Structure 1
Amino acid sequence: MPPAADAPLLVDRHGRVHRDLRISLTDRCSLRCTYCMPAAGVPWIPAHDALTTDELVRIAAVAVAQGITEIRLTGGEPLLRTDVVDVVSRLAALTGPSGRPEVSLTTNGLRLPELAGPLAAAGLARVNISIDTLRRDRFRTLTRRDRLDDVLAGIAAARAVGLSPIKLNVVAMRGVNDDEIVDLVRFAVEGGYEVRFIEQMPLDAGHVWSRVQMVTGAEVLAALRSAFDLVEAPGRGSAPAERWVVDGGPATVGVIASVTAPFCGACDRVRLTADGQLRSCLFARTETDLRTVLRTGGDDAAVAHAIRRCLAGKRPGHDIDAPGFLQPDRPMNAIGG
């Protein structure tokens, strides 16, 4: 839903209107994906530094009042937060110039068999579920956990309660799962899901990302065209995925080529970490401390001012290809997707 004509908008100095707030509920995760986190995990955010639910909802309320129309809950694994259903309920009840925001969630799916129903009842609109392989042995190697059946059960649970569309996120990796690209699309088409292939980004905790090992969006499309007829879907807008209609539809497949074909010029996202730091970009090297604004008595106007100050410093692009590019200090699990 577009903002009303008189809505206060969050506009950066490049003219991009921000309508999408990504909120990380926790930096903890129940898997240890090799491209994200070492086997032993990483130092976690101390509990006293994490936003309380009241603080999180208050920041979101200010952002919605400023024109945010979509809230995506991320992590880590957001379903590890014990009060996640209450969080969804409170966020879904917020109102702004364009009405209530759409609340969605990105998850590894492990807790969806027990939580999909309560989350849908609380107002969750849809889910993105990560699944990089359909092979149990490979899943165990990739995630260091033997939980593929639980992920598949979570996908089925989301479908059973009507969370739609269900998007399946796949990080394509050379020599790891790039031989499953076609199989994953067939699985999604048969189940009524949309699979989205994501170029691996330099956001791993070990800082071992290699562009040479990354499977590009162009390579993904070449693999798909060997098995399917693809027609580009219109109306991408600010969405990160370039979508393609598969074999005449209705199924579609998405490709998020953040590295080789960045879409920074249409970016409408801003990110709030679990410890209350606002980031204008996934690859930002600076953050705006909203937690301190709240805990030192700042009112809603002060929160709004801090949000706008953060966006005022947003760069035109992430500059991954620039000679001086530096990977963010925080890994993906601590930033939130």
Structure 2
Amino acid sequence: MKRHAHRAGPAWKGLVLFALLALVGCDRSPEAHRFEGPIFGTGYHVTVYGDFSDRQLASLKDGIDDALEDVDRLMSTYKPESELSRFNAAPVGEPFALSPPTAQVIDEAIEIGELSNGAFDVTVGAAVNLWGFGPDKRPDEIPSDAEIAEALEEVDFRALHLNGNRLTKTKPVYVDLSGIAKGYGVDHVAARLDALGVTSYLVEVGGEIRTRGTKPGGEPWRVAVEKPVSRERSVQRVLELEDVAVATSGDYRNYYEEDGRRYSHTIDPRTGRPITHHLASVTVVAEQCSTADGLATALEVLGPKKGMALANREDIAAYFIVKTDEGFTTELSDAFHAYLAEPPSEGGEQ
């Protein structure tokens, strides 16, 4: 069987947003300070504006690294010693004490699961692993119907019961927070910067972004939605953001092919199979990056029609890029229009 794999590191999600560093960096003022480093199998970039001493800048860098490492240590499925991995290995029916950050993420994940009627389900891990997009090795063969049905027996976010910081599973489930934890990592860094008195910043982790304030002169932060093509990086649309977060879910940077068929890393928890519709990417703007992250995944699973219906019903700011025979088209929810910058350049939206 002919195989082709295209993966963007560990399956924290397809990454299809990026800060316009050429734009945020066009001001050569010494007040602009940038930090970067590896995390979550991808990387982070943080830009802050302010008058900081060298000692303060070192403290900011340490705070950013510590915040992201905290999330990785708690919520990674790639680390057997992580809090999440230990919960996954814990017995059914036994309350497991979670740290406040993990409990917060689980609570929001359950809420988004209910909102989307199971299109977002953090217990989809068994199916994700079956298809080879988790920490397990990719299978030699495409999973059979019987294997998928067996994996689906362990997919049910309603089997999770959170009481305060104590989480209990009522049947064997494998929790995978990759559809929301990276967004929470962005929020965790933002909270650390807020606590350190930073009033103008952009935090980006693997394409998920949160902003505070504006750049000097009142200029908003500008963020690009990337065109959903796997072999290049080019701008589809530019957003202008202030005190909000943005996340995108897309399937074109993490997939594999077999016998000419493409298998997306985005698994529909309701079927146990990769999505097959033509929604190439979903971008969501929200107050919290974890919210944007989880909602983008849910809407991507739902597809263009049901996803847009949910976005408009729940006042979610969402931007869809849909693949057609002629290329790509875009659809915007009612709440999304407020974040658009100038119209795209020639060759952008079609």
TM-score (structure 1 length as normaliser): 0.27
Higher strand share: 2
